[in-house]
Amino acid sequence: MIDAELLTQRRPGSIKTFDHPWNGPGTDNGALVESHLQALIGYFSEHPQMALGAVFAAALLEALAVIGTVVPGSSIVFVGGMLVGLQALDPAWTAAAAVSGAVAGDSISYWLGHRHRERLRALWPVKAHPALFDRGQAYFAKNGGKSVFLARFLGPLRAVVPVIAGMSGLPAPQFYVFNVLSAMVWAAAHLAPGFFFGASLQLAGAVSSRLAVLVLLVAGALWLVAWVVAFLQRQARPRIEGWRDRAVAWASTRTNLPARILLSLFDPTRVESKALLAAALMLIGGAWLFFGVLEDVLSNDPLVQVDRRVYATLQTLRTAWGDNVMVAVTELGSAPVVISVITAVSLWLAAKRCWRTLGYWLAAAGFAQLLVRTLKFTLGRARPTGIYSGVDPFSFPSGHAAMNIVVYGFLAFLLARAKPAGTKIAITMSAAMVISLVAFSRLYLGAHWFSDVLASLSLGLAWVALLSIAYLNHVRHEKVSALPLSTVVGMTLALVGGWVVGEYHRADLVQYAYHPRNDTVPVADWRGDGWRGLASTRTDLGGDAEEPLSVQWAGPAEEVGGVLNRAGWHVPPPWAAKTALLWLLPNTPIEQLAVLPKLDYGEAQGMTFMKVLNVDERIVLRLWPSPYVVESDGAEPPRPLWIGMATIERLRHPAGLITLAATQHDFTTPLRRLAQDVHDQQGSAQLEERTGRVVLLVW
């Protein structure tokens, strides 16, 4: 019989794409607005140089003296990146346009300042912004030539610092080094998010109608957060600093515990106040996230469904090359390597007589290991696969992820303490990279569920933050030298890690190999009652039931497509820049509109077909691969089993401006229409109606 739990572990099969003609966008002889939009879309599709020109001009104007304070160049460059993600623009040319525009804008500003010097203050538009000009001069006086690089990312200052650099006589070679480097980083920082946003809309297998809305909401939220941060930086910072100063003045007159905590976190005269505040926020955030994940795991909330989908999705992406890399990464994060790092750091601290630091270091690793073991054996959660046995069969939380974030996180704190900002960033990013790679390797290799790793990272972050707060308050005179200790850790990783990888890699590749389950069910059992064991509704990432899964089809993809093609069904146009833009027009023919994918536990459909009913309606059939194959009674090979749904989509044209597709709640009519079409082409099909459930079986 069919095991319903396997439905969360479906692996996509081999999907054949059926060719369909592309007839180009249809023309409309009515609405004048639509004809203009059609012409505009066609023009930019065939003349991408116009978009590249816009990217160049936006980057140039944003860097131009004073004018850049009001030009939304960053937003236009982001749109350029989005067009790259939609495959409408060449990435190299787009990057070149953004970088060259930014370099040219700063160069013009530098030349104006170098040529006119102080006379520039009396010219428009500089004379209209004296306060901004004074801020720029103060910033340049403080930071020198590197302010040309830094100001590129500092809102209004980016439009005045190059001018001031020219007025101050900054040598041209030095200016152009900072100018070019900052332009490259700035362009990447704006093009990359746009690219990923555009790519998320381009990939039909990665979005659904609901997820597309979610992507737009996330993008809008990120833009709002960036705007709020910029606003606070420009407008609210003086007010916030005033509130802080009044709070510190109030706490300075008192000796109670709240006053001491307030002073330790907010007193600007205390060197460690910013570090304590950051640690306090990480402690609160990490603890809140851990207990939230723990609650979801204990109550079997939707996060558990996400676990299964993340596991199944990552297993479909595995390759021999990826397995080699991820097994090596997980070996570098294994117990022998981590214990060796702990031992080496302990010996170094003992040799330097940093006894209190040594105590905190051993407490960090020891308590983390004890807590992870206690949680594992208390909860007893099974792993995705039976990779481990004996003393470590349980999954929650991930020991690899927890120990690596505690060891390398607390080590990064010790190394970065009292160091310059650049050194702190380098140390933090290095530790974060190691921790992230090890955590991802556990997910990729199927050793843990997503919630296991998320819980471990949040728990480890909270523990490191708590230790950091205690350390900052009680250990004041022991200094850790970053370079020698980093060298010790690097040599330990190279020697012990290299030995572990060389010694165990071949065996670990076998242990972590993926073995997909592909259960066989006899056709008689499936047609009898076995079909009832498959999922009855499509389930979204939040765990909510959506449309009924009313189609079960046993057959290879080529056969399914052939039957439907003969019955007048065809594959809809694929998602691309042109087909996406067609949704912006109110009267595009329905057969030219791509179908919005839908997700079942995060997995997009493997095959999609449609049949046009009239100018505003079509039936859409979406099929997902299941983990079963149906075994026929004869000598034929087993046939893959697909499950899916047939729905009617009706087009809407709000205010005559765009096109929207609404899924109708009548699921019986499209199913019966599909059943009739299949029966006319292939006799082995039947409708099953039991306990209020209607399912079409095809074999």
Q: Which of 127, 182, 180 is nearest to 150 (CA)?
A: 182
Which residues are CB-contacts of 572 (< 8 A; sequence separation ≥ 6)?
20, 591, 593, 594, 595, 608, 609, 610, 620
Q: Which of 602, 518, 516 is nearest to 308 (CA)?
A: 602
Q: Note whether 547 and 400 are same-domain residues.
A: no
pLDDT at 4: 39
Could you read off the pLDDT of 406-453 as tens digits, one per residue? Answer: 888 888 888 887 777 677 778 888 888 888 888 888 888 888 888 888
Confidence of residue 126 (pLDDT cuts 50, 70, 90): low
pLDDT at 26: 35
Share of the chain above pLDDT 90, in %: 4
Q: Which of 141, 152, 213, 212 is nearest to 181 (CA)?
A: 152
Return the top range by mean pLDDT from 71-85, 134-148, 361-375: 361-375
Q: Note whether 592 and 677 are same-domain residues.
A: yes
- Spatial separation of the C-alpha atoms in residues 161 and 167, rounded to whole Å: 10
Angle at 696 between CA 597 and CA 531, to 5 degrees: 95
- Spatial separation of the C-alpha atoms in residues 698 and 57, rounded to whole Å: 58
Which amino acid does the sequence have at 206? A
pLDDT at 27: 34
Q: Note whether 451 and 529 are same-domain residues.
A: no
Average pLDDT, the chain: 75
pLDDT at 110: 83
Q: Which of 489, 511, 533 is the last residue of a domain?
A: 511
Cis peptide before 156 (omega within 30 of 0): no
Cis peptide before 336 (omega within 30 of 0): no
Return the top range by mean pLDDT from 62-71, 122-131, 198-207, 590-599: 590-599
Average pLDDT over residues 569-578: 82
* Helix, strand, coil percentages for the chain (3-state, nearest 5): 65, 10, 25
254 vs 244 pLDDT, higher one: 254
Dihedral (C-alpha) 279, 281, 285, 291: value to the nearest 10 degrees?
70
Q: Does the pLDDT value for residue 350 go beyond 80?
A: yes
Return the top range by mean pLDDT from 23-37, 180-194, 419-433, 604-618: 604-618
Could you read off the pLDDT of 666-676 as tens digits, one per residue? Answer: 898 999 999 88
Confidence of residue 311 (pLDDT cuts 50, 70, 90): confident
The answer to whether position 221 is within a domain reads no
Q: For the chain, first and last CA: distance in Å?
A: 17
Could you read off the pLDDT of 256-295 as tens digits, one per residue? Answer: 777 766 666 566 665 555 666 666 677 777 778 878 787 7
DSSP for 682-698, written as a single string: -S-EEEEEETTEEEEEE
Q: Note whether 498 and 537 are same-domain residues.
A: no
Q: Which of 176, 202, 228 is the last residue of a domain?
A: 202
The answer to whether position 217 is within a domain reads no
Q: Which of 189, 210, 179 is nearest to 663 (CA)?
A: 210
| Cβ burial 312-325 (10 Å sphere, 16+ → b, else e) | bbbbeebeeeebee
- Spatial separation of the C-alpha atoms in residues 187 and 208, rounded to whole Å: 30
Q: Does the pLDDT value for residue 81 go beyond 80?
A: no
pLDDT at 610: 93
Lowest mean pLDDT among 133-147, 170-184, 334-348: 133-147
Could you read off the pLDDT of 145-172 as tens digits, one per residue? Answer: 777 787 777 766 777 788 888 877 788 8
The answer to whether position 35 is within a domain reads no
Q: Note whether 20 and 97 are same-domain residues.
A: no
633 vs 201 pLDDT, higher one: 633
Return the top range by mean pLDDT from 241-255, 347-361, 568-582: 347-361
Domain count, the chain: 3
pLDDT at 202: 47
Q: Which of 186, 202, 218 is the last residue of a domain?
A: 202
- Spatial separation of the C-alpha atoms in residues 699 and 684, rounded to whole Å: 6
Q: Note whether 583 and 691 are same-domain residues.
A: yes
Q: Note whether 284 and 151 are same-domain residues.
A: no
The answer to whether position 11 is within a domain reads no
Q: Note whether 453 and 431 are same-domain residues.
A: yes
Q: Note whether 295 and 348 are same-domain residues.
A: yes
The answer to whether position 87 is within a domain reads yes
Q: Does the pLDDT value for residue 13 go beyond 50?
A: no
Return the top range by mean pLDDT from 63-67, 234-238, 496-500, 533-537: 496-500
Q: Note whether 154 and 116 are same-domain residues.
A: yes
Q: Does the pLDDT value for residue 524 go beyond 80?
A: yes
Q: Which of 663, 521, 698, 588 is nearest to 209 (CA)?
A: 663
pLDDT at 35: 44
pLDDT at 582: 75
- Look up residue 119 and give its two tokens: 């006379």
CB distance 10 to 605 below 8 Å: no
Average pLDDT over residues 229-235: 60
pLDDT at 611: 93
The answer to whether position 377 is within a domain reads yes
The answer to whether position 240 is within a domain reads no
Q: Note whether 586 and 490 are same-domain residues.
A: no
46 vs 585 pLDDT, higher one: 585
Q: Note whether 166 and 94 are same-domain residues.
A: yes
Q: Does the pLDDT value for residue 462 go beyond 70?
A: yes
Does this model's pTM top 0.95? My answer is no
pLDDT at 216: 55
Which residues are CB-contacts of 276 (< 8 A; sequence separation ≥ 6)?
264, 265, 469, 472, 473
pLDDT at 223: 65
Domain carrying residue 311: 271-511
Query: Which conformational region is residue 609 in: left (phi greater than 0), alpha (psi within -120 to 50 degrees), or beta?
Result: beta
Which residues are CB-contacts of 607 (< 8 A; sequence separation ≥ 6)?
15, 557, 560, 561, 621, 622, 623, 642, 644
The answer to whether position 327 is within a domain reads yes
Lowest mean pLDDT among 230-244, 548-562, 633-647: 230-244
